Amino acid sequence: MSEDFNPETGEVLDTPHAAQPNQGKPVLRQQVSTGQEILSVLSAINRGRFIHDLEDNMKELVKAVCEHNKMGKLTVVFEARPDLRTGTMGITADIKATLPRKPAHASVFFPVAESGSLSRVDARQSTLLPGNDQL
């Protein structure tokens, strides 16, 4: 079979041999996509700002993952809203980054049940130095 494609649709066509039942008519095999259409749309969202923001967020994600050696996530949400009056469609994109971070250092406190407050001093222990019970 020879491979041809339809230049209008990008479909790859198989042209069967004469002995086959389709008698030389093209048969749809698969559609070829170069990705140019989606890149064109992404580049046009928010007057090109979206694609720059996406690139900046990706770089930030890669740096954070390398620095903390933990997983991060970049999520893009597209919203399509038709305008029935004009026959157009508005496309918006939102980028959400979940970057790995250094864990916060925990400070140790003792709860004071009666007042609901926290203390750095354990009330169950006696003090070695009188007058030094408030830290």
Statement: residue 22 has pLDDT above 80: no
Who's near 10: CB < 8 A, 6+ residues apart? 31, 32, 33, 34
- Of 55, 58, 56, the residue nearest 66 (C-alpha): 58
- Structural domain boundaries in the chain: 1-32, 45-100
Statement: residue 8 has pLDDT above 90: no
Which percentage of the chain shows pLDDT scores above 90?
49
pLDDT confidence tier of residue 132, bands split at 50, 70 and 90: low
> Contact at 8 Å (CB) between 2 and 16?
no
Average pLDDT, the chain: 81
Supply the pLDDT for residue 1. 45
Task: Indicate left, alpha or beta for 97 from its phi (over 0: left) and psi (-120 to 50: alpha).
Answer: beta
Statement: residue 3 has pLDDT above 60: no
Supply the pLDDT for residue 102. 85
pLDDT in tens, 90-106: 999 999 999 998 888 89
pTM for the full model? 0.54
pLDDT in tens, 61-71: 999 999 999 99
- Distance between CA atoms of residues 57 and 46, nearest Å: 16
> Contact at 8 Å (CB) between 27 and 13?
yes
